[in-house]
Chains A and B, each alone.
Chain A
Amino acid sequence: MTTASQSQTTNQSQAPAATREALGPALVRLQNAGHDIVVVDADLGKSTTSRAFKDAFPERFFTFGIAEQNMISAAGGLATLGYTVFATTFAVFAEHAFDQLRMSIAQPRLNVKIVASHGGVSTGEDGASAQSIEDIALFASLPTFSVVVPADVVEAEAAIESAVHTHGPWYIRTGRPKIPVVYSDGPRFQLGKADKLREGTDVTLVACGLMVDRSLRAAEALDRIGISARVLNMATIRPLDVDALEAAARETGAIVVAEEHLSHTGLGGMAAQALATRHPVPMEFVGVPDRYGESGTWSEVLEIMGLTSEGVYEAARRAVSRKA
């Protein structure tokens, strides 16, 4: 089977792209379509791509300098006037303003969308400090927040558009590396709904972000050894599609959860909690181990962490072997 470092796509017609690339163009398009968007930024507009919005609508783009706490609370204030506020920075720097997220946005349930790029360990060379492995846990811990980790650039743009149409606080995690496009035929994103990308009967691979493509490739490899794997893209972490998880558990009898985040506090932990009450089955987890990252190319760091299609493949075999 293919390894992570050879991660060329097998069935995509579109060139690989980073999910972060969706942001700037989506914001410009949505504002041109008549929405009432403002953007706040903390000196990372070039990297998050929100800068494209500044070029198009300079009066609607507010720079806050390297001061995320102020930016997040000000975003809440802006939202009280009815704007759809996008706050953009890196995922690790969004973590920097956790209490501001809690007090200035989550508790008053204000219409602020945090779109944070450079999520996960695939930031690569910058090393541990720049690699967010806690962001999903933090945002999912905030009642009122929706939390979304798109699988590719197409889904990222669809999630941003959906966020504009849905009142309330959102966290959308985007990534730095160019990854394969899963939705080359167009997006199917719906908040709170898992997307079944592949049918299967022996095990279900539940994934988000760049682990979706890797799980699809793991499913192909599993098929070659006679294991039929369902693949669910669980782009929405909150509200979690518990019904899709329960159906997967009942119909396939084993679950693997794959994510670019600490498993116990991420999608893995949340899926396990949901299934514990609905329909427990053998589960395995492919996530960042209980450790911080290090420098390397993005694909090397993913390999170090075991976040590869091989990792998903092996986890699926373990899960299947544990079925009664």
Chain B
Amino acid sequence: MVIDAAVDLGALTARVRRHIVRMVYTAKSGHIGGSMSSAEILAVLYGRIMKHDPANPAWEDRDRFIMSKGHATPVQYATLAEFGYFPTSELDTFRQKGTRLQGHSVLGKPGGVENSAGSLGMGLSFGLGIRLGMRLRGQDNHVYVLMGDGEQQEGQVWEAAMAAAHHEVDRLVAIVDRNRVQNDDFVENTMRPQPIDEKYRAFGWEVRSGLDGHDLAQVEEGLAWARDVRGKPAVVIFETIKGKGVSFMEDNPAFHGAPPSDEQFAQAMQELGA
């Protein structure tokens, strides 16, 4: 199935952002910033682009979403819950003893999580393997891999980029959430990956860049374009804002991996319309 096109993704992403902040606040740990920057990307993937069935996460004919930036589990879990993979009430267990919702993605926990991640740079390779296997089976499903822009510093990303182009793998879509902030500092101050688009082009990929990753229409346009590329792998680079939606978190490296205080939580939830 493809999710009902009538789903209001604007309202959904607003709820997802509130889930993200509440999960990290409740757990007293977790990654808000890079979750907030990916909210629209995941919403459009699950709401408009991917073939998937929340009632049957193991459906053989599904498209795959690979979370390579595996620290951004708050947005992944919140989106899966909003689309009905599991009850939103379970989000309260995030990072706590006995939970299925570990701090970083674990394959199969819950159903709908397609890979284990947390060490950066591996998702594109994992997705490449899935797509190669699908092609061998004659399956025309897609694999979507979400990475960060800081993650482009990992050498393995470029091993995978080279191999995907060499094997002429299509229906493999890389998505870069370019929020320009990593753990310690801004990406540009840490290890400059730019120009990301020219690098992928040089590796033999079809590339779209410069799209606003918080504009649902632009996100859908970019992902639909990438879905339809044939003969080559495709990458879409979305310009995003780390911590998007909460004024004091936006563009602030301090909210890569730190929880909000009580006061910050109250203000954040107010800004997010709770």
Contacts and interface: CB of A to CB of B under 8 A. Distances in A.
Interface of A: 38, 40, 59-60, 62, 64-65, 67, 69-81, 83, 99-100, 102-104, 107-108
Nearest to A100: B122
A55 B118 CA distance: 37
Contacts of A99: 119
B155 A69 contact: yes
Given A38-B136, A59-B136, A77 B126 contact: yes
Interface string B107-148: 110000011111101100111111111101100000000000
A77 B136 contact: no
Query: How many interface residues does chain B have, given as a range?
Result: 20 to 34
A67 B163 contact: yes
A69 B125 contact: yes
Contacts of B163: 64-65, 67, 70, 74
Given A67-B159, A73-B156, A103 B133 contact: no
Nearest to A83: B133
Contact of A104 (B108, B125, B162): B125
Contact of A103 (B117, B134, B137): B117
B125 A74 contact: yes
Which of B108, B116, B131 counts the most A-chain CB atoms under 10 A from its CB?
A: B116
B167 interface: yes
A73 to B, nearest CB: 3
Contacts of B118: 103
B50 interface: no
Given A59-B136, A69-B155, A103-B117, A76 B129 contact: yes
Given A67-B159, A81-B137, A74 B116 contact: no
Contacts, number: 95
What is the predominant secondary structure among interface residues of chain A facing chain B?
Answer: helix
A74 B160 contact: yes
B114 A80 contact: yes
A80 B141 CA distance: 14
B119 A103 contact: yes
A74 B131 CA distance: 9
A295 B64 CA distance: 48
Nearest to A85: B129
Interface of B: 106-108, 114-119, 121-122, 125-134, 136-137, 155-156, 159-160, 162-163, 166-167
Contacts of A38: 133, 136
Given A38-B133, A73-B129, A74-B132, A108 B116 contact: yes
Contacts of B127: 77
Contacts of B107: 80, 107-108
A72 B156 CA distance: 11
B141 to A, nearest CB: 10
Contact of B126 (A59, A67, A76): A76
Contact of A108 (B108, B125, B166): B108
A76 B132 CA distance: 12
B130 A78 contact: yes
A108 B156 contact: no
B156 A70 contact: yes
Contacts of B117: 103
A80 B156 contact: no
Contact of A74 (B108, B119, B121, B126): B126
A26 to B, nearest CB: 21
A73 B134 CA distance: 16
A81 B130 contact: yes
B130 A77 contact: yes
A299 B85 CA distance: 59
A103 B162 contact: no
A75 B130 CA distance: 9
A73 B159 CA distance: 11
Nearest to A108: B107
Contacts of B160: 70, 73-74
Contacts of B162: 65, 67
A71 B134 CA distance: 17
Nearest to A72: B125
A104 B136 contact: no
A70 B119 contact: no
B106 to A, nearest CB: 7
Contact of A78 (B133, B155, B156): B133
Contacts of A100: 122, 125, 156
Which of A76, A77, A79 counts the most B-chain CB atoms under 10 A from its CB?
A: A77
27 contacts: A62-B167, A65-B159, A65-B163, A69-B121, A70-B125, A70-B128, A70-B163, A73-B156, A74-B125, A74-B126, A74-B129, A74-B132, A75-B129, A77-B115, A77-B126, A77-B128, A77-B131, A77-B132, A78-B129, A80-B129, A80-B130, A81-B130, A100-B122, A100-B156, A103-B118, A103-B119, A103-B122
